[in-house]
């Protein structure tokens, strides 16, 4: 941190713009990788791709494009094609490209794939599409899922969300491409990695009685997939939502999508420059549901949800990852929320 801080200050003294927080974090990461003599780095872009600070790299070996949806439209563009063009900016000569086939409409899928294919042609690189419609023999035993894809049979993952099978299919295609490039990845390694991988904040169980789940669904597409997963596992259960999102998200659409599954909705405020108040979100949610409460804090939201819950209730906290971290922290330190043996508040 000190090393990067000195360089950032020196840039400002020389009359250059002071680096942004994300640029500073990126520089710190690269310096850390260098000092640790990393041979391989898994590097995720920040916003978009083309103009992102992480895109300074020139030795990209593998480009992985996860599902693309309408997000950050103020900066990336209004159409799926415009957003995809930004994402495609990370494709470099000499790399391999694997993209996830999206769940959007047929025309949008074609538009996205055409943009990626054109970029791959321009860079003279090969494109592989991970197509989860080829998945078969799916078995679910919450939270485990087992499936087969092409020649890969009986792949087990420990993440419950339906969209995690799509992500696992993407990983399988990436692993096959890496093997073709000379990386040694044994099947036993693949199976172990799939089964033991966890992803905090993605339909993660944080409490078993009553069942409490956190999920980072923070945009329209994420909420659609969340609803899909709830309908898969919890059709006959009471659902209590805790919801907190940023003001630049389409929270109107989000409320519209999720409200019909809930018995109660509790809203919380998010923080920072893009914060949205619990009251504003509650007013929006009230247009789609008649039992909405605005909480003064995350802790109060958790207390209310536990008071509302019985043993058959599923509490789902979703939205911005910025507040979900607090949910996880509070639930790990249970002395902050005490309940008696009947589930009531002490």
Same domain for 180 and 215, yes or no, is no
Q: Give every CB contact of residue 214 below 8 A, 6+ residues apart in sequence.
A: 201, 203, 204, 206, 316, 317, 318, 324, 327, 328
Strands 135-141 and 264-267 come out as unpaired
Same domain for 243 and 270, yes or no, is yes
Residue 88 lies in a domain: no
Same domain for 186 and 231, yes or no, is no
C-alpha 211/C-alpha 342 separation (Å) is: 14
- From 158, 180, 199, the end of a domain falls on 199
Same domain for 162 and 213, yes or no, is no
Same domain for 221 and 325, yes or no, is yes
C-alpha 171/C-alpha 176 separation (Å) is: 9
Q: Domain limits at 190?
A: 131-199
Same domain for 209 and 185, yes or no, is no
Tens-binned pLDDT, residue by residue, of the chain (346 aa): 999 999 999 999 999 999 999 999 999 999 999 999 999 999 999 877 888 999 999 999 999 998 775 554 555 556 778 888 988 999 999 999 999 986 655 666 778 888 999 999 999 999 999 999 999 999 999 889 999 999 999 999 999 998 899 999 999 999 999 999 999 999 999 999 999 998 888 899 999 989 999 999 988 888 998 999 999 999 889 999 999 999 988 899 999 999 999 999 999 999 888 899 999 999 999 999 999 999 999 999 999 999 999 989 999 999 998 899 999 999 988 755 555 445 555 4
Longest CA span, the chain:
65
The partner residues of 240 in beta bridges, in order of sequence, read 264, 315
Using CA atoms, how far residue 174 sits from 13, 61, 96, 171, 200, in Å, is 44, 11, 9, 5, 22
DSSP letter string over 247-312? Answer: TTS-HHHHHHHHGGG-SEEEE----STT---HHHHHHHHTTT-S-EEE-SSHHHHHHHHHHH--TT
**Domains contained in the chain, number:** 2
Same domain for 293 and 222, yes or no, is yes
- From 199, 228, 258, the end of a domain falls on 199
Same domain for 168 and 221, yes or no, is no
- From 154, 177, 199, the end of a domain falls on 199
What does the buried/exposed string (b/e) look like for 279-318 if buried means 16 or more CB atoms within 10 Å of the residue's CB? eebbebbbebbeebbbbeebeebbbbbbebbeeebbbbbb
Strands 152-157 and 292-294 come out as unpaired
Residue 98 lies in a domain: no
C-alpha 117/C-alpha 97 separation (Å) is: 10
Residue 116 lies in a domain: no
Residue 321 lies in a domain: yes
At residue 231, what are phi and psi to the nearest 5 degrees? Answer: -65, -25
Same domain for 189 and 221, yes or no, is no
Residue 329 lies in a domain: yes
Do residues 86 and 77 lie in contact, with contact meaning Cβ atoms separated by under 8 Å? yes
Residue 23 lies in a domain: no
Residue 147 lies in a domain: yes
pTM assigned to the model: 0.80
Same domain for 164 and 213, yes or no, is no
Q: What is the CATH number of the domain that holds 211?
A: 3.90.190.20
């Amino acid at each position: 941190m000190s090393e990067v801080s000195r360089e950032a200050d020196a840039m400002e003294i020389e009359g250059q713009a002071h680096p942004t927080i994300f640029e500073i974090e990126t520089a710190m990461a690269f310096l850390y990788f260098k000092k640790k003599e990393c041979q391989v780095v898994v590097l995720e872009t920040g916003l978009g791709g083309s103009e992102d600070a992480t895109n300074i790299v020139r030795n990209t070996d593998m480009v992985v494009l996860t599902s693309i949806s309408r997000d950050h439209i103020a900066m990336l563009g209004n159409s799926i094609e415009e957003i995809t063009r930004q994402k495609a900016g990370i494709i470099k000569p000499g790399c391999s490209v694997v993209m996830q086939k999206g769940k959007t409409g047929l025309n949008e899928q074609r538009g996205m794939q055409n943009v990626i294919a054109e970029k791959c042609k321009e860079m003279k690189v090969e494109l592989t599409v991970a197509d989860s419609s080829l998945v078969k023999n799916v078995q679910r035993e919450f939270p485990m899922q087992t499936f087969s894809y092409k020649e890969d049979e009986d792949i087990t993952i420990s993440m419950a969300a339906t969209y995690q099978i799509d992500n696992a299919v993407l990983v399988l295609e990436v692993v096959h491409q890496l093997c073709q490039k000379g990386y040694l990845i044994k099947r036993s390694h693949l199976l172990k990695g799939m089964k033991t991988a966890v992803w905090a904040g993605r339909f993660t169980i944080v409490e078993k009685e009553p069942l409490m789940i956190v999920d980072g669904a923070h945009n329209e597409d994420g909420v659609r997939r969340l609803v899909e997963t709830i309908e898969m596992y919890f059709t006959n259960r009471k659902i209590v939502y805790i919801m907190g999102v940023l003001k630049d998200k389409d929270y109107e659409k989000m409320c519209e999508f999720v409200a019909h599954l809930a018995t109660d909705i509790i809203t919380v405020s998010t923080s920072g420059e893009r914060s949205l108040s619990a009251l504003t979100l509650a007013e929006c949610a009230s247009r789609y549901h008649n039992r909405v409460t605005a909480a003064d804090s995350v802790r109060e939201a958790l207390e209310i949800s536990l008071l509302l819950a019985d043993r058959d209730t599923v509490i789902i906290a979703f939205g911005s990852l910025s507040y979900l971290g607090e949910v996880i922290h509070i639930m790990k330190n249970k002395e902050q929320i005490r309940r008696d043996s009947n589930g009531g508040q002490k």
